[in-house]
Structure 1
């Protein structure tokens, strides 16, 4: 961190180890991945041809983990980058509206609260985040209001949607669409998307691989989410075997024979 009086200051933080280039969780993920692959053994690791992941796979590859595998950028994480950039623009716009005359006031408890356009924009977050086909009528109205009153924010929204549509197109068309999107982002007066464009250019090879092979870890992440839900259901069980059995039944393909039941 930087101090105005003392310059750059190194301080201990709870989320990273000293001298580490990443957070503790990120380093732990890489360590877990390396340990898992070590347990698989060289022969089975050599059979892995493609990997779909976020930036963790890039760091793992630098450390010599699965150097032969084709790394594919997970589409969800790429679109998530655009959503995060959009949200930064939304917060900037909201703060600018709050600083305008009449943009903020006091609620009944005396706390500072947004008023007028700032209040409308604060409640429009989901209209910007959700896919257009999933918007409610009220959210569509808010999006139309943003298009009329906040063109910079609306342009950021269109950039986010444009990147999302890249992954919905066939591979050949998607690569051309990605190139057009990168040109659009580079010309954009929005620094957050100019920066995102540079990030995506650096990851273009992995994004192209994802488009070519159609590889995604969505199924695995869905399974992990279901296991986390089952873990909450299993609170109070005395032994982990109960949780394992609970997970194997819906997710492991187990079809035990039950009395008076005809298998389907």
Structure 2
């Protein structure tokens, strides 16, 4: 019977290069679906690293076997299996050792979480849950872990260097549930969001910034809400307040529709309307 090498299996599953892969097992879950379990372990040099700081720690004890959900292999669920040790870190005490394929306190691999987070940007949570075959309550924590990693990669100065920002409120749930979102136009990313809308919520954003961070803001875009004007005038008097293009076009279109309706009614009243 033909077999596949460990190196080829790692490349096929896009697993980190610093892990050892053993012979996979094929079984069934409680619903009769196919499950492929792949025993893995980190390289010896990476087995005793603290999951919080990444430094080597003194081996403390071993935990039971754990499994991490990886990207599906066709129609089969794929699980990585390993019994991680606990290490005694000088800074963080006794903690579970880091594994190269997953984030701390996660039951999913990094690749799996990356796909869930990407899908969550383009589809509702119920659709992501059904497609990835996970509980819908797990989607939010997965997205938070991915977002935390992205923020760490971008550095701690998320609000540093803000020059041109935009603010708007968006409905995220039935029943008029709104969220206020602030974006950085220069870098094309969301920098702040909070449940609710109005002056009280927007003030929370400016109160989060330092004086230097507020002083760097030169442009604030948004709709014609007066609460935006009042907050900008109070916290960033040096900033120029600009109406964003989306709302300008929307208002112009609405005004044009009203004029068109008024002219049509007048034409019908005077008998000048033509088919």
Q: TM-score category by the smaller chain?
A: under 0.3
Structure having the higher strand fraction is 2
Structure having the higher helix fraction is 1
**Given the two structures, how large is their TM-score scaled by the length of structure 1?**
0.25
Structure showing greater relative contact order (alpha-carbon pairs closer than 8 Å, 6 or more residues apart): 1
**Given the two structures, how large is their TM-score scaled by the length of structure 2?**
0.24
